[in-house]
Amino acid sequence: MLLFVMISDGVARLVRDDDDNDGYSGFCYTQCTQKVIPCRSKVLIFRPTGETVRSCAELLQRLEALGWRRLAPSGAQPSTLLLEKATSSSASLLMLPSDIRYLTLPQMLDIVIKNQQFFFVRDAS
């Protein structure tokens, strides 16, 4: 089966779904159909151990150990986690879904950029 996947910048990409979703995990939200569909995903890797981050609880634990602090949940978006890390010169924010399956590539890259020595993204294998 072939799927059109909308990337965050609105560009459509055609991907092939081989062998009953083999190589596909996670979901993409398509802007044109406003549906969540399976898509080829990337995985977030915790660099010090080389392990794939598999849950939001694990991700929160690792981020809190790096100095990130969870903010109070918003009544408007209860399924979203908001974290902050303040330094003497700036403050950074991360907005993440409460379900790791809905963690998007731009959100993964945001984590990587703000924690370059501790995380990286690679293709799911």
Task: Specify the 3-state DSSP secondary structure of 57.
Answer: helix
For residues 3 and 57, membership in a common domain is answered with no
CB-facing half-sphere around the CA of 102: CA atoms within 13 A: 12
For residues 7 and 18, is the Cβ–Cβ distance under 8 A? no
For residues 55 and 32, membership in a common domain is answered with no
Q: What is the pTM of this model?
A: 0.66
Q: How many CB atoms lie within 10 A of CB 111?
A: 23
For residues 29 and 77, membership in a common domain is answered with no
For residues 52 and 105, membership in a common domain is answered with yes
Range of the domain at 11: 1-40
For residues 54 and 31, is the Cβ–Cβ distance under 8 A? no
Domain count, the chain: 2
Q: What is the pLDDT along the chain (125 residues), one digit of tens a residue?
A: 455 555 656 566 666 555 443 344 445 544 444 455 445 578 899 999 999 999 999 999 999 999 999 987 766 677 888 999 988 788 899 999 888 888 888 899 999 999 999 999 998 86
pLDDT for the residue 22: 39
Task: Specify the 3-state DSSP secondary structure of 87.
Answer: coil
pLDDT for the residue 89: 85
